Amino acid sequence: MAGPQISFGMALGSGQYVLGLLLAFLVLGPVFGMPIISGTLIEIGFEGGHGTAAGMAETFAEFGFPEGQDLALGLATIGILSGVVVGIILINWGVRTGKTTQLKEKGNLSVAEQAGLVEKDNRKSASTLTVQPASIEPLTLHFGLIATAVLIGWIILESLRWIEQQLWADSIEIIAFVPLFPVAMIGGIIVQIAIQTFDKHDIVDRQLVERIQGVSLDVLIVAALGTLSLLAIAANFWPFVLLAVTGLAWALFAFIVIARHVMPDYWFERAIADVGQSLGVTSTGLILLRVADPDLKTPAYPAFGYKQLVLEPFFGGGLITAGSIPLIVGFGAGWFFAGMLALFIGSLAAGFLYFGKKKSPKPAV
C-alpha cells in the first residue's frame, strides 16, 4: 500500500532539487549571479515550509547567502497558499471530469461546512482530560513531552557535532551546519516509542497533541512571516518568480501526468495529498485528501501515513533538506545533483515499472 506513495513522494521531493539546481546552473547563477545553493530553495520553501525556511536561517547566513532565508520564506508563503487554492481547483476539475472515485456530487456541503464551521449537532471534544489537573495540568504534561523530544534531539545533535569536531572537522564540516529541527524529529520518534512501551494508562491524548500541533504551526507561520524581508525578495524578484513558477509547474505536471502511472488505483486521492504537502505542509495535503475522500474509503489516508514514516525524516525538513547546503558546499553541486537525479530516476522507475502495475489491498472497513 505504501510503495506507490513513497515512490511518488520521493520523486516530488528529489525532483524539486533536480529542477532547482538545473535552474541555478543555467539561469540563476549565470544571469543573476546567485550562488549555486539557490537551487535548494524550491525544496526548502515548498516541501519544507515556513518551519524549515526559518530553521535554516543560520545555515544560509553561514554560507554567505542570508537573503536565501527571505526567498525561502516567500516561497513557503506562495506554496501554502497555492497548495490550498490550486488543490481545490484540481479537486473541482477531478469531480467534473470523473477522475475522483468518492467525490461525485456537486454542492453537497452545508452552509456551515462551506464557512469552515462545525455544526452544533456534529461538534465533539477537541481533547480529553487523562490526568487530574490537581496533580499536573494536562496541557503542561503534553507540552513537556514535546519539550522532551526537542531536548533529546538537541543532545543527539550536540553529540554528533562533538564527534565531528574530534574526527573529521579539520577536512570538512557538515553536521555543524545541520539545524535542530530534523534531529528533533528523531527525538520525537524516541519519545513515541517510550510512550507506546510504558504508557499503560493512555495518559497521552492524541487530540490534545494535534491541537498543540495546530497552534504551533499557526504561531510558526506568523512568526516566520514577521521576519520576512520584502526588500530581499524585491532585490531578487525575477529569480524568486522563476523559482516559484518552476516549483508550481513541477507539482502540477507530477499530479496531472505522472501520478496516474505511478499509483495502481485511486490515483487522484493518493496524489492530491502528496501534491498538497509538496506545495505547503503536511496538514495542507491532509485537508485536500479529506475534501477528495471525506469518508476515507480509499487507501490514500493510510498509504500517506506510511509514506511519512519513510520520507519525512529525509525530505521536507528532514536530514537531506537540512544537509543539502553543507553537502553542496562540501562535496560540490555536481555530486549532490547527481545523487538527487539518481534518486529521482529510481523513484520514477519503481513507480512506473513496479508499483504502478500492482493493485493495492483495500483498507479494512
C-alpha cell at 251: 507539482
Neighbours of 214 (CB within 10 A): 12
Kindly report which listed range (65-79, 118-132, 226-240) carries the lowest average pLDDT score: 118-132
Question: Is the pLDDT at 364 greater than 50, yes or no?
Answer: no
Length of the chain: 365
Return d(Cα 277, Cα 272) in angstroms, integer.
9
Instruction: Please give the grid coordinates belonging to residue 314.
Output: 529525509
Tens digits of residue pLDDT in 96-129: 888 888 877 555 556 665 566 777 777 777 788 8
Give per-residue pLDDT as tens, 271-330: 998 998 888 777 788 888 888 887 778 888 888 888 887 887 788 877 788 889 988 988
Instruction: Kindly indicate the confidence band of residue 339, based on its pLDDT and cuts at 50, 70 and 90.
Output: very high
Residue with cell 475522483: 100
The C-alpha atoms of residue 292 and residue 294 are separated, in whole angstroms, by 6
pTM of the full predicted structure? Answer: 0.80
Instruction: Give me the percent of the chain exceeding a pLDDT of 70.
Output: 94
Q: How confident is the model at residue 335 (pLDDT cuts 50, 70, 90)?
A: very high
